[in-house]
């Protein structure tokens, strides 16, 4: 910490310091001079820091305040809430839809992300590698609405694949066709949305794991190679174990992103009731439910959507904390 | 990686184990693509790109493994198979990303022109779009108002979040030491990074509609303004600015600070005159990356600023449109439904091209700033 060597100039955290120059007498033990500039500046930085605490508390508080109507309605008259069976019956399918789509996105994206990260750090030609890493970073910056637009344009191409899936794998509930044996003819299903989500979180997981892989101690890698390991053995013995906690936290951060991702799902999915099958239209996620209904919402409906947002906030909070816990736990062992 | 595959002939066998010639993976890759195309013609009655791609990948992996197994042994074979899998997963993952960029450039490039950039949706009627689709008129409408909205809201978000973010980072690095507040802030900044963007939007809306309700009961609707959107974006932007700035400030050598203190320079002056100038390139490029991140946000804008059809320069009253919300609105709620929705879709793609270009330029700018303004390496 930079301050540890510099304690004489200013008090900790710029807190009001009663015995600085103007207040205390000159005869006391020599004290370091605290200039007004120091006071003002340290107070300003402190205020900025505290503001962050306030903002986060504010997020929770104001969402709660606006959810008041929903909570009242839930207590007095659950049937007035959308769906007619109370708030939990309303929010449950949304939570399930959110979790399913994020889980699929994560399952699809993680292996590819690891592949790309390994490729760009350890397998690509030396000259090409930084360029590839840079391209991946650029792709992480593409706005989600553009992914949504792209997903809409291409969703129709997936219907043939979904038909094939439902024909051969229809006995698995998630690929089951409609009652009349068809699948969504626009391709705008939860599976499509999840696949687009996986493409969206791919660059994020990749760039995080890439950074971890780049930090693998060179000596360990070279030692492995010197002992006669093939490149894959070297990766398995030195790169992957070193990056384990990093990979875990990267996937969790990817999951957090997928959970809260709104636009791609809101644009691609044609929402409906919760169904087990992912190749027919139906299902909905929290973020997309809010986005699709918020512009027209008023009164109780508005409050409901804000409460749903609060639920999403809590879920992502839990996921992020879990990610941090994993990192804390594994990194102690690793280092 | 150093390999001795150049001399895999019989002479060198005494020193190195048997190895396949260097070109083998390429030959196998080409051969498996050809085989996959043949299978596709026989089994699926035509050239089907996804089928060919998947088949070629599978055949390639199996062939590489089998050949290497029989000639080089198990360990080499595993290595080659892993390399093949990793490489093909990289190629496979590039396909959607390239397709996205290509579609944006081709569709957006076909639709974009100066008129779209300089007009708003004022006076837009479904008839105009129907005429365009029928080929009787040029594409009308535009997104000048969305560009203005994007710039205004982003600038406002920067004005709010850059001072807070940079000052917080200074507090964390220069003042907090290891105290509890510093730790709490670090933790909460981490938490803030994970806030879903739509929740940030809901927060800003809830905040301002509560305030609006207090001032004027029943007038929560006036909470939807550009400024509310800017606050929502700040919630997303502050943690990025704090993180990037903190990282850079920690890189400033302690020697510089100590040299300054030794000359009797007060702490705040040391920070302002020594620490910040040293790290200015990093801070600016971090801020630029944060801007690039929030400029493409859609969800927080649509819940806080609505969808404006016309130009609005006032951040503090009335709805505003930004490029992302314009894209969303045009695509999902076209001016004219049915066939003429194509016109709205074309405008959306043109706006997407502008937005993607903007984000790319900002990212490049961040790189350039980091390079150009970086402090000269000593000695």
pLDDT number for residue B151: 93
pLDDT number for residue B377: 58
Q: B355 — phi, psi (to 5°)?
A: -65, -45
Q: How confident is the model at residue B152 (pLDDT cuts 50, 70, 90)?
A: very high
Give dist(CA A223, CA B78) in Å, integer: 20
Supply the DSSP symbol for A18: T
Residues 160-179 of A with CB under 8 A from B: 161
pLDDT number for residue B146: 92
In angstroms, the Cα distances linking A13 to A6, A7, A45, B52, B125 are 13, 11, 9, 64, 60
What is the rounded average pLDDT of the residues B311-339?
86
DSSP string, A262-287: -HHHHHH----S--S-SSSS----HH
What is the rounded average pLDDT of the residues B2-23?
57
DSSP string, B108-153: IHHH--HHHHH--STT--HHHHHHHHTTSS------HHHHHHHHHH
Give dist(CA A172, CA A187) in Å, integer: 19
Tens-place pLDDT, residues A12-68: 444 444 444 444 444 556 666 678 888 888 888 889 888 888 988 888 888 888 888
Q: How confident is the model at residue B36 (pLDDT cuts 50, 70, 90)?
A: confident
Of residues A233, A205, A207, A206, the one with CA closest to residue A220: A233
Q: How confident is the model at residue A1 (pLDDT cuts 50, 70, 90)?
A: very low
| Binary contact (B93, A112; C-beta < 8 A) | yes
Q: Chain A contact for B254, CB < 8 A?
A: yes
Site from A2, A44, A60, A299 to mutate, B interface, most B CB atoms within 10 angstroms: A2
| CATH class given for the domain over A68-334 | mainly alpha
Q: Residue A127, SS3?
A: coil
| Angle between helix A144-155 and B74-103 (nearest 10) | 90
Between residues B7 and A213, the one the model is more confident about? A213
Lowest mean pLDDT, pick from A253-257, B162-166, B235-239, B290-294: A253-257
Lowest mean pLDDT, pick from B85-89, B104-108, B135-139: B135-139
What is the rounded average pLDDT of the residues B141-152?
90
Residues 313-352 of B with CB under 8 A from A: 324, 327-328, 331-332, 348-349, 352
Answer yes or no: are the C-beta atoms of A69 and A289 closer than 8 Å.
Answer: no
Residues of A in contact with B210 (CB under 8 A): 62, 65-66
**What is the location of CATH 1.10.3720.10 in chain B?**
144-372
| Binary contact (B173, A253; C-beta < 8 A) | no
Answer yes or no: are the C-beta atoms of B209 and B310 closer than 8 Å.
Answer: no
Helices (H) and strands (E) in chain B, counts: 16, 0
* CATH H-level superfamily of B144-372: MetI-like (1.10.3720.10)
| Binary contact (B50, A139; C-beta < 8 A) | no
| Binary contact (A45, B192; C-beta < 8 A) | no
Give dist(CA B89, CA B117) in Å, integer: 39
ipTM of the shown complex = 0.84
């Amino acid at each position: 910490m930079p301050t540890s060597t510099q304690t004489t100039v200013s008090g900790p955290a710029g807190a009001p310091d009663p015995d600085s120059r103007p207040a205390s007498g000159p005869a006391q033990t020599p004290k370091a001079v605290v200039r007004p500039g120091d006071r003002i500046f340290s107070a300003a930085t402190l205020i900025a820091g505290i503001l962050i605490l306030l903002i986060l508390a504010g997020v929770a508080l104001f969402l709660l305040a606006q959810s008041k109507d929903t909570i009242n309605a839930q207590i007095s008259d659950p049937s007035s809430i959308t769906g007619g069976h109370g708030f939990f019956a309303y929010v449950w399918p949304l939570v399930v839809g959110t979790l399913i789509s994020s889980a699929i996105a994560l399952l699809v994206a993680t292996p590819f992300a690891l592949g790309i990260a390994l490729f760009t750090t350890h397998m690509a030609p030396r000259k090409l590698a930084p360029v590839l890493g840079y391209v991946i970073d650029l792709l992480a910056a593409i706005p989600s609405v553009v992914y949504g637009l792209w997903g809409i344009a291409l969703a129709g191409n997936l219907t043939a694949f979904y038909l094939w899936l439902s024909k051969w794998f229809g006995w698995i509930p998630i690929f089951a066709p409609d009652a009349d044996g068809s699948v969504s003819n626009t391709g705008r299903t939860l599976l499509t949305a999840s696949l687009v989500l996986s493409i969206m979180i791919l660059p994020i997981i990749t760039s995080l794991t890439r950074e971890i892989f780049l930090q693998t101690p060179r000596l360990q890698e070279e030692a492995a190679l010197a002992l006669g390991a093939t490149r894959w053995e070297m990766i398995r013995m030195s790169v992957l174990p070193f990056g384990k906690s990093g990979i875990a936290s990267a996937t969790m951060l990817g999951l957090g992103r997928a959970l809260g991702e709104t636009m791609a799902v809101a644009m691609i999915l044609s929402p409906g009731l919760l169904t087990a099958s992912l190749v027919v239209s139906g299902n909905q996620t929290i973020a997309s439910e809010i986005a699709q209904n918020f512009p027209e919402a008023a009164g109780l409906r508005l409050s409901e959507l804000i409460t749903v947002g609060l639920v999403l906030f809590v879920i992502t909070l839990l996921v992020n904390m879990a990610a941090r816990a994993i990192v804390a736990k594994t990194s102690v062992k690793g280092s | 990686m150093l390999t001795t595959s150049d001399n895999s002939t019989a002479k060198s066998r005494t020193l190195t184990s048997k190895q396949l010639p260097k070109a083998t993976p390429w030959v196998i890759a080409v051969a498996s693509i050809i085989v996959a195309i043949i299978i596709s013609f026989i089994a699926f009655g035509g050239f089907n790109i996804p089928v060919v791609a998947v088949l070629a990948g599978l055949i390639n992996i199996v062939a590489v493994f089998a050949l290497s197994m029989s000639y080089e042994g198990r360990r080499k074979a595993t290595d080659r198979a892993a390399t093949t899998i990793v490489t093909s997963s990289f190629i496979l993952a590039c396909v959607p990303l390239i397709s996205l960029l290509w579609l944006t450039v081709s569709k957006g490039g076909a639709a974009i022109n100066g008129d779209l950039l300089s007009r708003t949706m004022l006076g837009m009627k479904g008839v105009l779009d129907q005429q365009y689709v029928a080929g009787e008129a040029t594409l009308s409408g535009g997104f000048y108002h969305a560009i203005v909205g994007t710039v205004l809201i982003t600038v406002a978000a920067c004005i709010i979040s850059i001072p807070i973010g940079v000052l917080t980072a200074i507090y964390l690095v220069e003042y907090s030491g290891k105290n509890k507040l510093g730790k709490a802030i670090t933790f909460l900044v981490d938490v803030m990074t994970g806030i879903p963007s739509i929740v940030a939007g809901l927060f800003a809306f809830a905040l301002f509609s509560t305030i609006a309700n207090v001032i004027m009961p029943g007038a929560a609707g006036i909470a939807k303004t550009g400024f509310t959107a800017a606050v929502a974006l700040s919630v997303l932007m502050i943690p990025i600015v704090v993180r990037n700035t903190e990282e850079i400030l920690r890189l400033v050598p302690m020697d510089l600070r100590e040299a300054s203190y030794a000359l009797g320079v007060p702490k705040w002056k040391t920070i302002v005159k020594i620490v910040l100038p040293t790290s200015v390139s990093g801070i600016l490029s971090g801020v630029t990356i944060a801007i690039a991140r929030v400029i493409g946000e859609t969800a927080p804008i649509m819940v806080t600023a609505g969808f404006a059809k016309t130009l609005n320069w006032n951040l503090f009253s009335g709805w505003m449109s930004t490029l992302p919300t314009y894209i969303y609105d045009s695509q999902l709620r076209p001016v004219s439904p049915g066939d003429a929705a194509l016109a709205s879709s074309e405008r959306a793609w043109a706006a997407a091209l502008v937005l993607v270009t903007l984000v790319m330029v900002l990212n490049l700018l961040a790189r350039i700033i980091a390079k150009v303004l970086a402090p000269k390496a000593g000695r």
